[in-house]
Amino acid sequence: MNWFLVTTNRCNFYCQYCQNEPHPDLPVNANWDLKQLKEFLSQDPNPTIAFYGGEPLLNLKLIKEVMNEIDAEHYTIQTNGWFLDKLPTEYLVRFSTILISIDGDKDITDANRGKGVFDKIKENIGIIKEKGFKGDLIARMAVSESADIFRDVYFLLNDRELGFDHVHWQLDVLWDDIDHTRWQNLDDWIINYNNGITKLVNYWLEEMQKGKILGIVPFLGVFWNILNNKKTTLPCQAGLTSFAIRTDGVITVCPLPPEYEFSVVGNIKDNKPTDVFNSVLIEDPCLTCEVYDLCGGRCLFANKTKLWGEEGFAKVCGTVKHLIFELKKIKPDVEKLIENGIIRKEDLNYPKYNNTTEIIP
């Protein structure tokens, strides 16, 4: 199972989408007992530990303590990248995956996350590679109204100094009560976004025709199921095999909605991993959707809350349907490339473990 450990609710950034608003009723730093956590996770035969925040590296001491005391099949971390150079080599090289929050080139990243952020990320990526990090390095984008999905993903895939292995993104949607809080013209932006997805799928295919499979996470995660005629469950596995442990030791289905009643499923003191396994499931309208077998429900939080109402929920789902339909179009072409030995089918199988990429944007 995958366990997000929220090390702290603090962050040193004030990004456009989040505004650094930690929940007022939760401890700032994790106050759960490490021995208790160790006992809880010892009952999971194959745990993945994902350090999360806030900015998890603001509590580097706890990260080191956890890694000293608890064996995990994989360690991952989602970070803004500012303190990556502080991570000692002996811990750094044990991470299977590092996800860095970055939205594209210097202009868009600094506009969204703060002046100097892009240059600091680039500097720290160089440092961790010099120290010996050889795991999966993922650019984790937050896609908002200022984004151009083709431009920004293309940049992150091709900037050699950054050297990302994969690029993943989430849309900055459904987190506000109304869609105009941060959006001026959502409908027109969706049209442009969908056009960008079409362009990006075509580019992905063109590169495969040259024998190169680009690490575009939403495409890889969805296309593997298309290629194998395979049905999926919620790809992020929230509420199924993936959970978050809040700073107070309470277990929630996801690190993002810690205060919602539906999200709370137990705590590390009184429960076992098997108590929360498959505890919260996707509901309609997803279950009767024509792409449910490939989408799996998109987002458990959005499915349960629908903060933009049914209409807003449907608008965002439209972007997922478009992505899936565009990927379906290229299935025959990719099958020919595999048959002719241009690419290997197995190289499209990603991710092989829950590395906290939700797959569906």
For position 291, which CATH number holds? 3.20.20.70
Q: Is residue 196 part of a domain?
A: yes
Enclosing domain of residue 335:
2-348
Q: Is residue 323 part of a domain?
A: yes
* HSE of 4, CA atoms in CB hemisphere, 13 A: 32
Task: Classify residue 191 as exposed, middle or buried by CB count within 10 Å of its CB (0-12, 13-18, 19+).
Answer: exposed
Task: Supply 73's token pair.
Answer: 């099949």
Question: How much is the pLDDT for 1?
Answer: 98
Tell me the pTM.
0.96
Say if residue 56's pLDDT is above 60.
Answer: yes
pLDDT tens, 97-117?
Answer: 999 999 999 999 999 999 999
Q: Is residue 355 part of a domain?
A: no
Q: Is residue 245 part of a domain?
A: yes
Question: How many angstroms separate the CA atoms of 130 and 150, rounded?
Answer: 30
pLDDT tens, 238-294?
Answer: 999 999 999 999 999 999 877 788 999 999 999 999 999 999 999 999 999 999 999
Q: Is residue 361 part of a domain?
A: no
Q: Give 4's pLDDT tier (boundaries 50, 70, 90).
A: very high
Q: Is residue 133 part of a domain?
A: yes
The arithmetic mean of pLDDT across residues 174-202, rounded, is 87
Mean pLDDT of the chain: 95
Q: Is residue 356 part of a domain?
A: no
Q: Is residue 358 part of a domain?
A: no
Total domain count, the chain: 1
More confident residue, 24 or 184: 184
Task: Supply 179's token pair.
Answer: 């869609």
Question: How many angstroms separate the CA atoms of 115 and 83, rounded?
Answer: 16
Q: Are 97 and 355 in contact (CB under 8 A)?
A: yes
pLDDT tens, 129-145?
Answer: 999 999 999 999 999 99
Say if residue 179's pLDDT is above 60.
Answer: no
